[in-house]
Amino acid sequence: MNSKRKKKISTGRILLYIVLSLGAVLMVMPFAWTVLSSLKNMGQTFAIPMKILPDPFVWKNYPESLAALPFGRAYFNSFYIAFVVVAIQLITASMAGYAFGKLKFRGHNVLFILFLATMMIPSQVTMIPLFIIMKNLGLLGTHMSLILPASLFNAFGVFLMRQFIAALPDELEEAAIIDGASIPQIFIKIILPLIKPSMAAFGIFVFLGQWNSFLYPLIFLNKTESFTVPLLLNFFKGTYATDYPLLMAGTVISIVPVLLVYLFFQKQIIQGIAITGMKN
């Protein structure tokens, strides 16, 4: 009986591994194709029949791509914007999450549901009003037009923080109140140290989102020196022709920080996804 059960388990596990391996190959294929295309010349890119491996490898595409556009400045802009947005969102989302998760005030559940309902509003609906607001504030063409809207409101971040904070034992707060701690002291000295894992996961999500953002920088920025990396890559596309090898080389350069984040912070990313399913 046990041998049959082990056989069934092993067979099912093997099938699962096969399916997961096929899925992993399908996920990696676009990235692998991008890397291989970045090492080809234009003739190899459009060769018929199609060549998978470059022959020869054109390594000069990478230095030429870096020299063609001011990638150094664009990298700084992307890191600067992402860092500021992450820092502010961690503060605002954790404070709002604590308010919704632990401070029981009248109508807090209704207000929280209304707050989450804003996630259903497509960004295209708010794009034009946001553009008008930034124009009236005189922020068009500056990085503040990207930082302010993204920093001050993130319903997903508040939800993530609230789920984690609501799962913390109430006895911790009660003990602190008995010791004479105020609400700000409870939040800073007790809540914040306990929610570091969720804050790390949320910070990674925000960083990746800001680094990969293309549409809003395209709308709000109008000077090359203020462009972010995704927006700068668009310059490789010409009106009548596109230098695909340089475009692919620039793309590989641009995704290196994102790839490093995924490699070194896999645990936090998975934990952040798991946190969203916690019960209050």
Residue 20 and residue 158 share a domain: no
Residue 73 and residue 28 share a domain: no
CA 138 to each of CA 69, 124, 131, 133, 135: distance values in angstroms, whole numbers, following the listed order = 28, 21, 11, 9, 5
Q: Is 47 inside a domain boundary?
A: no
Q: pLDDT by residue (tens digit) across 179-213?
A: 888 888 888 888 888 888 788 888 888 888 888 88
The sign one gets for the Cα dihedral 71, 262, 154, 127 is positive
CA 174 to each of CA 14, 33, 39, 169: distance values in angstroms, whole numbers, following the listed order = 50, 57, 62, 9
Q: Is 237 inside a domain boundary?
A: yes
Distance (Å, rounded) from C-alpha 146 to C-alpha 63?
30
- pLDDT for position 85: 92
Q: pLDDT by residue (tens digit) across 133-160?
A: 988 988 888 889 889 888 877 888 888 8
Q: Is 57 inside a domain boundary?
A: no
Residue 123 and residue 14 share a domain: no
Residue 76 and residue 176 share a domain: yes
Q: Is 158 inside a domain boundary?
A: yes
- pLDDT for position 280: 46
Residue 138 and residue 269 share a domain: yes
The domain in which residue 14 lies consists of 2-37
Report the CATH number at residue 171.
Answer: 1.10.3720.10
Residue 144 and residue 69 share a domain: yes
Distance (Å, rounded) from C-alpha 235 to C-alpha 255?
17
- The count of domains in the chain is 2
- In the structure, what pLDDT confidence band is assigned to residue 164 with cuts at 50, 70 and 90? confident
